[in-house]
Amino acid sequence: MADVVTIPQNLFYIIIAFIAVIGLIVALMQWRRVRESQTNVMFLEKQAELRKIELVEKDLESKRVLENVIPLPKEQQERLSDIRKTTTDFMHKAGYLHSEINERVTLLETRTEFLKLQKLLQDIEMKEKELDKRTKKSEGSDNVQAVTGIKGGK
């Protein structure tokens, strides 16, 4: 019969123990990774909370600064309002001048385009005249040849 390979019982227990130890090591490593991930998530949550608190504190501080505006003396307030008025006047004037410039540029472009078109029209008219002269000459010479041909034929 066929020889059946048998493993001694002690060796069998050693192999099973080795597989169990490897499984236990893998399980412990995975558990450690999970714990580290949980710790990192908690740390990031705490950082997000601290950032939110910091933003709220900055917002409150800016509101406090706006509420505690130091009142300026009347003379400085008048100067400030004059400065604001002149600034808005300059802005309006700059806008008006900008629109005037754009309008004039458009007008200039239109004029130059019109002049170009006029020149092209003159060139076309001159070429038409030359063409008419050529066609009249060729018609005249054809008529002369036709007349001489008729006379010569008689």
Which distant-in-sequence residues (6+ apart) come within 8 Å of 7 by Cβ? 15
Length of the chain: 154
Of 9 and 111, more confident: 111
In the chain, where the domains are located:
7-67, 83-144
Residues near 80 by beta carbon (within 8 Å), at least 6 away in sequence: 72
| pLDDT tens readout for residues 58-89 | 999 988 877 776 777 888 888 989 999 999 99
* pLDDT for res 141: 64
DSSP of 23-35, one letter per residue?
A: HHHHHHHHHHHHH
Whether the pLDDT of residue 107 is over 90: the answer is yes
At which residue do the structure tokens 């558990």 appear? 31
